[in-house]
A and B are shown apart, each in its own frame.
Chain A
């Protein structure tokens, strides 16, 4: 059973305690100046954005079929069956394909480091494996960020939409986007206004399928193309061989003829 986070922006009061808890959990510095930063970075995996009276959290969506994991040449990212998409830094070669491929632009880079790592929310895998909620969900004073089984959270989100339709944009962001994510978002405003990619734009197709369609042909393509190329080689050189052999035979014949 996959775990997930449900973020309901109508319950969020913008206290940024999730930011602080995240920093503590990941041993990152957190002070007023970091709190004032309005974007995610290598030292800020989650951010609470403000627009007037409305708030919106951004964090890694923990896709069911993560693009980052599928594109990594060394498999430094993988999806755990509990939900988190985690990163094995010792494998990473620093190609940054994960950053380019992520539809939500979540992986961030340590540009200033001499041995840089990719940084993103990893959904507190140690806590989740031990059966505990993530640091951000645990500290949230209003329950705006809620941790639980994905199926239960989807049901709860649907209930909230049904009971209070006027408060919400009628959709659960992440329910089907890029083939389901483990972070679900309910909001009174369009999430697109806070920098999330539009549902229509990213679609419901799991991202790895776009490259998978090509990659799955490679094992067939290699033997077939080798045979074609080998065949062309054989034919184009065979003609020459035949010509040479014929010429030789002819020469032999005339020689034999002259002997007789």
Chain B
């Protein structure tokens, strides 16, 4: 069999090549050689993007599992498997990213024996570890189905309620705890982003991102695989996203209001520019777009609004983890190209694994199944939508 060289395959190979070079530098010359992290900036791009954004972007898994299995919104059934797959891959790659960032990754298992229950990092570590296991079990049925193993599917179905509750519990805990990590730095993190409500913001935005990410990946994979797109599902997700964005925006506003920051955030400053960018991308533009019914009912409009809000929340995480520290430190931090290339490699691996999984496993429902669900959507009880929207709170 000959593998054809397409444009994207060449890009993939280049990214992998540069990434492997950076990996070599990381493990043979150390963190100092591969990154621009310093004693003043001990957490760099890998924590800001790979960890904070990575976990956030994998939130679609628990959002969709919650909507479909917890709230029993059957009409969204078709997006659960891709969302769980994305989440599972996301967490695996997050752990890969951690192996780059940790100074002594070979001792990562120390978490299990030298536990410090007061540490937020410990909580995040344990939750991520357990949740990745849960995601593995949630993902297993597609493998069993592929090989036509009926008995194990039955076993897993017996445990499904436990898996679902456990998965959402763990997600609530660690999505919010990633925000709690920064609670101990009140004197370092800029007041635009330091807030006692950080854990709530991180959880709330994870739910919004979970919805936006599901719209993004459904549209994207429909395009790539030439699948028929279920518009009704997207429209329903878009409605929920609008609600989630509003809730998040209100939370942020309340926080600035109560801390008396409203005047300050309007005055131009280095930090204010980044804050404006973040607020515009995550709230103002997508909320405005989604408020138009025409856009909310069109696949392209939904896709655009989702992608913009994703960029907004990525900006938020980078502001919290990098930009917010620059005034305290007194100089800027710009990641080295090798830091970017490791991150790019990890993302490329994610795309490749997703594509392989989609190709060989029953992730997306077959055309026949899709049609059946399309008709099912039409008769779906309308009352399930407010229940689902509550998931955004």
B262: CB under 8 A from chain A? no
Nearest chain A CB to B388 CB, angstrom units: 11
Give the bracket for the number of chain A residues in contact with chain B: 35 or more
A73 to B125, CA, bound (A): 8
Task: Please state if A212 and B70 are interface contacts (CB–CB under 8 Å).
Answer: no
Residue of A40, A92, A97 with most chain B CB atoms under a 10 A cut-off: A97
- Knowing A108-B39, A109-B42, the reply to whether A116 touches B114 (Cβ < 8 A) is no
A218-B173 Cα distance, complex, nearest whole Å:
8
- Contact of B115 with A by CB under 8 A: yes
| A53 at the binding interface (Cβ < 8 Å) | no
Q: Determine whether the beta carbon of A99 is less than 8 Å from that of B39.
A: yes
- Tell me, rounded to whole Å, the shortest Cβ–Cβ distance linking B167 to chain A: 10
A63 CA to B40 CA, complexed, in Å: 20
For residue B28, CB closer than 8 A to chain A, the reply is yes
Q: State the total of A-B contacts with C-beta under 8 angstroms.
A: 160
- How distant is A77 from chain B, measured CB to nearest CB, in Å? 9
* Cβ contact within 8 Å between A92 and B104: yes
Assembled-state Cα–Cα distance A92/B184 (Å): 20
Stretch of A132-140, A152-160, A225-233 that contacts chain B: A225-233
Contact of B184 with A101 in the complex, beta carbons under 8 Å: yes
Interface of B: prevailing SS: helix
Is A91 a contact partner of B165 (Cβ separation < 8 A)?
A: no
- Which of A1-9, A13-21, A200-208 faces chain B? A200-208
Selecting from A54-62, A64-72, A164-172, the interface stretch reads A64-72
- Among A40, A71, A116, A211: residue with most chain B CB under 10 A: A211
Asked whether any CB of chain A lies closer than 8 Å to the CB of B110, the reply is yes
- B169 & A222 in contact (Cβ 8 Å cutoff): yes
Question: Whole-angstrom distance from the CB of A87 to the nearest CB of chain B?
Answer: 13
Which bracket fits the contact residues of B? 35 or more
Q: Is A36 an interface residue, CB under 8 A from the partner? A: no
Are the C-beta atoms of A211 and B108 separated by less than 8 Å?
no
Interface residues of B in 228-260 (CB under 8 A from A): none
Is B371 located at the chain interface by the 8 A CB criterion?
no
Indicate if the CB atoms of B187 and A73 lie closer than 8 Å: no
Which residues of chain B are within 8 angstroms of A28 by Cβ–Cβ distance?
Answer: none
Q: Are B184 and A208 in contact, CB atoms less than 8 angstroms apart?
A: yes
- Which residues of chain A are within 8 angstroms of B165 by Cβ–Cβ distance? 226, 229-230, 233
Query: What is the chain B residue whose CB lies nearest that of A112?
Result: B32
Given A70-B119, A214-B180: A226 and B169 interface contact (C-beta under 8 Å): yes
Q: Name which residue of chain B comes closest to A237, CB basis.
A: B72
Chain A positions within 8 Å of B72 at CB level? 236-237, 239-240
A229 cross-chain contacts in B, Cβ below 8 A: 70, 164-165, 168-169
Which residues from chain B sit less than 8 Å from chain A, CB to CB? 27-33, 37-40, 42-43, 69-72, 101-105, 107-108, 110-111, 114-123, 125, 161, 164-166, 168-169, 172-173, 177, 180-181, 183-188, 199, 387
Residues on A lying within 8 angstroms of B by beta carbon are 40-42, 67, 70-76, 91-97, 99-101, 103, 105, 108-109, 111-116, 197, 201-203, 207-208, 210-215, 218, 221-222, 225-226, 229-230, 232-233, 236-237, 239-240
A-B contact list, 17 entries, CB within 8 Å: A42-B39, A72-B116, A73-B116, A74-B107, A74-B114, A74-B116, A75-B119, A92-B103, A100-B188, A103-B187, A109-B39, A111-B39, A202-B187, A211-B120, A218-B173, A222-B173, A230-B161
